[in-house]
Amino acid sequence: MAKRRIVLLGPPGAGKGTQAKRLVETTGLTHLSTGDILRDEVAHGTDLGNQAKAYMDRGDLVPDQLIIDMIRGRIETADGFILDGFPRTVAQAEALEKITPLDVVINIDLSRDEVIRRLSARRVCRSCGRIYNLLSNPPQVAGKCDVCGGELYQRDDDRPEVIKNRYDVYMASTAPLIKFYQDRGILVSTDGRRPTDEVFAQITAVISA
């Protein structure tokens, strides 16, 4: 029986967003990304969005309970989902258990060195915002956007020293979820170093089983 309640885990740069979008196209499941949900709630001026915006405007983290309430509303109206970017902590995972059972948690494993290598190769067009990767999707002309000819630059959060910190934060807060879901017998890991198509094929096999 196909699995319809899925969580994707993995460090920054592991390709969770890419895999989630491909899975949505082939399965019809709803992609629930906390970042997208937060932006949508704020943009539509919902009660939860307005509460979250007050924290964001002060530069504070949005509290767990607000994020959980946003997720709850989306889960309750979705006929199956792929969660990407949530839960981030064991406390969030415990809260999620009270909302819905999960069918499978897929961990896209990637080392610190590989995360730094991948993300530090990312470049963005100053004019149109198109994203390139010098390793996997380089521009035809170095430093120039293929679409508009704009200058490509490296965002501050794609610099190696920032990426190292993002990875360390992930390992401290999110990596404990691996044991949490292992203990529940629903964790499957895949090697994030493999080509995107191979990772996608393995994930598809897991959720179809």
Element (H, E) at 104: strand 104-109
Q: Could you confirm whether 39 is annotated as catalytic?
A: no
pLDDT for 117 equals: 95
User: Under DSSP, is residue 43 helix (H, G, I), strand (E, B) or coil?
Assistant: helix
Give residue 110's pLDDT.
94
* Active-site hit among 3, 118, 122, 123: 122
Mean pLDDT by 10 residues, the chain (209 residues): 89 90 92 87 92 85 88 91 91 94 96 94 94 93 97 92 90 91 97 93 94
Q: What local confidence, expressed as pLDDT, does residue 61 receive?
A: 74
98 in active site: no
pTM here? 0.84
- 163 residue type, one letter: I
Residue 102: φ, ψ to 5° = -110, 150
pLDDT value for 24: 92
Q: Which of 88, 112, 130, 144 is catalytic?
A: 88
Which of 130, 144, 166, 193 is catalytic? The answer is 166
Any catalytic annotation for residue 16?
yes
Domains of the chain in start order, with CATH, are: 5-111+175-208 (3.40.50.300)
Q: First CA to last CA across the chain, in angstroms?
A: 6
Q: Which residue, 98, 100, 94, is CA-closest to 81?
A: 100
